[in-house]
């Protein structure tokens, strides 16, 4: 149990890298959310009456304007850097708290650009903050079990979702994705289009890895590590081929918890 705090530290560091990356990406996409962009708060506040003309609409407009949003993003980035640095427990807790508060604020402001990886990163850091506030090894162990369960749930639901679709099983989806301009690679896309069986078997391998992932808790150590390695290879592959840069960090952040809880 005493090692749980150290293991949680590794999960936090991986998640902090992913969240920092997200902040830097948003800062690079200022043309989207700054004044005059399609996601400027002047436009997005019109989504709901409360945001547009509610009691706190003026305060929210100041907070979510160009300057306010940029400040929140920099605060998030600074919080992540501080989480990565070796600091005292108090500073670490403060850094984690800053990051989580900024994450929650940005979920209201820039929710359109967030995906599953952002949700998982927010869950990881939010749960870690709870453990740090509690400040006991048992709380850290409890959060690690939560993160391990969350990771398994994420893989299993994603795997079952793919398994139920014929186009995933046949490899058609994989061929289409790798052939797309944004998430594809001309070389790999062309190869998979030329060789549909390769795409089908690759798809089935990914589906099997995801569906079977929760078995890491019961499989013998070499097989469980193999499963973990296959999932990690998938994330590195999607980062290199598809440019999905935050997913590896979001899922790698759950691996220390899986390794700890499955006694690998």
- Contacting residues toward other proteins, per CB under 8 A: 21-22, 24-26, 28-29, 32, 36, 38-39, 42-49, 52-53, 111-115, 182-183, 236, 239-240, 242-245
Nearer to other proteins, 33 or 260 (CB): 33
Nearer to other proteins, 170 or 179 (CB): 179
Q: Which 8-state DSSP code applies to residue 45?
A: G
Task: Output the smallest distance, CB 261 to other proteins, in A.
Answer: 29
Nearer to other proteins, 111 or 167 (CB): 111
Task: Output the smallest distance, CB 227 to other proteins, in A.
Answer: 23
Q: Are 258 and 148 in contact (CB under 8 A)?
A: yes
Task: Output the smallest distance, CB 85 to other proteins, in A.
Answer: 20
3-state helix, strand, coil in the chain (%, to 5): 85, 0, 15
Q: CB count, 10 Å around CB of 104?
A: 12
Nearer to other proteins, 47 or 195 (CB): 47
Token reading at 93: 């807790």
Nearer to other proteins, 77 or 200 (CB): 77
Q: Rounded to the nearest 5°, which phi and psi values hold at 212?
A: -85, -5
Task: Output the smallest distance, CB 187 to other proteins, in A.
Answer: 10
C-alpha 98/C-alpha 77 separation (Å) is 9
C-alpha 121/C-alpha 35 separation (Å) is 28
Task: Output the smallest distance, CB 106 to other proteins, in A.
Answer: 12
C-alpha 70/C-alpha 208 separation (Å) is 42
């Amino acid at each position: 149990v005493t090692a749980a705090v150290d293991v949680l530290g590794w999960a936090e560091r991986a998640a902090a890298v992913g969240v920092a990356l997200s902040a830097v990406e948003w800062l690079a996409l200022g043309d989207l959310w700054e004044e005059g962009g399609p996601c400027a708060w002047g436009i997005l506040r019109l989504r709901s009456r409360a945001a547009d003309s509610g009691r706190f609409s003026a305060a929210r407009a100041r907070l979510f304007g160009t300057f306010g949003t940029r400040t929140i993003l920099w605060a998030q980035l600074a919080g992540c850097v501080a989480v990565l640095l070796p600091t005292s427990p108090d500073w670490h807790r403060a850094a984690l708290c800053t990051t989580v508060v900024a994450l929650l604020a940005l979920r209201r402001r820039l929710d359109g650009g967030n995906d599953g990886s952002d949700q998982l990163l927010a869950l990881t850091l939010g749960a870690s903050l709870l453990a740090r506030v509690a400040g006991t090894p048992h709380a850290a162990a409890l959060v690690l079990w939560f993160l391990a369960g969350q990771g398994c749930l994420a893989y299993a639901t994603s795997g079952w979702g793919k398994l139920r679709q014929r186009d995933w099983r046949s490899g058609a989806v994989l061929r289409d994705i790798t052939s797309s301009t944004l998430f594809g690679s001309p070389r790999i896309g062309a190869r998979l289009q030329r060789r549909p069986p390769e795409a089908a078997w690759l798809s089935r391998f990914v589906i099997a890895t995801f569906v079977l992932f929760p078995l890491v808790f019961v499989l013998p150590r070499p097989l469980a590590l193999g499963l973990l390695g296959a999932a990690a290879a998938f994330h590195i592959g999607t980062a290199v081929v598809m440019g999905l840069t935050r997913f590896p960090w979001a899922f790698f952040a759950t691996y220390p918890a899986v390794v700890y809880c499955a006694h690998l």
